[in-house]
Structure 1
Amino acid sequence: MHLTRSVTAVGFWIATVLPIVYVPVIAAGIDSMSRLSLFVGLLAINVLALVVGHDYQASRSR
């Protein structure tokens, strides 16, 4: 049970903080296949983190 809450919390915080990484990637330009792959990979990780962290209890209003 504790592990599940920890994984959910990590997923929530990764989904919250990861979009900050998009800024330098977009600012540098997506002009090659490797940068496009990086951007798509970041998006995929963000979606996965959103799904995993969706039920994080601290994210709900009390």
Structure 2
Amino acid sequence: MHLSSSVTAAGFWLGTLLPIVYLPVIVAGIDSMSRLSLFVALLAVHALALVIGHDYSGSRSQ
């Protein structure tokens, strides 16, 4: 397995599982600038992970 395929797989799985982290942040409330910054950072990391993991071959049906 090459480094690029490992990075692609990590991006795919991070993009798949990261929304689970949104729930505690939203439940706790976005009532301060630090929590808003955390939420925006999570969204940015999620978008980046989706772009990187887009070509993951394990996500397609055979």
Question: Aligned residues, how many?
Answer: 62
Amino acid across the alignment from 1:16:
T
Matched-pair identity in %:
74
SS of the equivalent of 1:54 reads helix
TM-score of the superposed pair, with normalisation by structure 1:
0.97
Counterpart Cα distance in 1 of 2:51 and 2:57: 14
TM-score of the superposed pair, with normalisation by structure 2:
0.97
1:7 maps to: 7
Runs of 4+ in 1 over 2 A off after TM superposition: none
Runs of 5+ consecutive residues of structure 1 not aligned to the other structure: none
Runs of 5+ consecutive residues of structure 2 not aligned to the other structure: none
Shift of 1:2: 0.5
